[in-house]
Homo-oligomer: A and B are copies of this chain.
């Protein structure tokens, strides 16, 4: 399942809803992205995450489907927030569940690597020097490249 929302993410509740009653699950891997107070060596007081409504959901659903094609998952969930964030706030939550741990761990890493490079979100950071748009990171592209061809 995919959700794009302004509200905070209740990790415990999301996990419970995702796995409840499914006794084929042996492992759940999750990743929670949170806001750091430091970016490229500069202190960041707050951040606004802009996205492309419609495309975001479409792309997240495509990549979730791709993960379910590559790995035999029992459940998967992507929740991505937008709006204004303060340091420590949760930004994104990815969870994958499978009978064995390897499929859960790999697919979770796959999804978050993809999200970082392909999901249409843009970060506007508030620093002492004013607001600045964050540049894309080459290391993120490299992380995604190791998964090979993914849906456009």
Residues of chain A at the chain B interface (Cβ within 8 Å): 10-13, 15, 19-38, 87-88, 99, 101-102, 104-105, 108-109, 112, 116, 143
Contacts and interface: CB of A to CB of B under 8 A. Distances in A.
Complex copy number for this chain: 2
26 contacts: A10-B12, A12-B12, A15-B32, A19-B88, A23-B35, A23-B88, A25-B34, A26-B34, A26-B35, A27-B32, A27-B33, A28-B32, A29-B29, A29-B108, A30-B32, A31-B101, A31-B104, A33-B101, A36-B99, A38-B99, A102-B143, A105-B105, A105-B108, A105-B109, A105-B112, A109-B109
A27 to B, nearest CB: 6
A102 to B, nearest CB: 7
